[in-house]
Amino acid sequence: MSGPDKPKVIGEEWSDERVKSFLAIDPYDKTLNPDFHALLKAYQAMRAEDFERFIGFFREAGRNLNAVNERGETILDLISQHRRSVDYAEALKKAGAKQAAAASH
């Protein structure tokens, strides 16, 4: 149950199972890259620490950290545009993610 009667929990510790559940997120629009979509949804929902754990599970599953969206951007391109996302971008870089211009070389 969710809604106004259920308080939002900030800073809640996520289990590995909850973090891994984002691996199963598929885009409604089948033209979207499923790897990019899963990374985007994880970024939008998770704290930086949980996102870094997700990246590890994502790579273990053989998924592509450099997948692009319909504009040719990687998740690192997108996240790098957000001032408060330095920790997320650093976690991606540490895992080997590239920006689109670098990923194409």
Q: What is the pLDDT of residues 46-57, one digit of tens each?
A: 999 999 999 999
Counting every residue written for the chain, the total comes to 105
Please state, in angstroms and as integers, the Cα–Cα distance from residue 31 to each residue in 7, 17, 72, 91, 102, following that order.
Answer: 36, 28, 13, 27, 24
User: What is the pLDDT, as a whole number, of residue 49?
Assistant: 96
Percentage of the chain lying above the pLDDT 90 cut: 74
User: What is the pLDDT, as a whole number, of residue 11?
Assistant: 64
Task: Read off the pTM.
Answer: 0.83
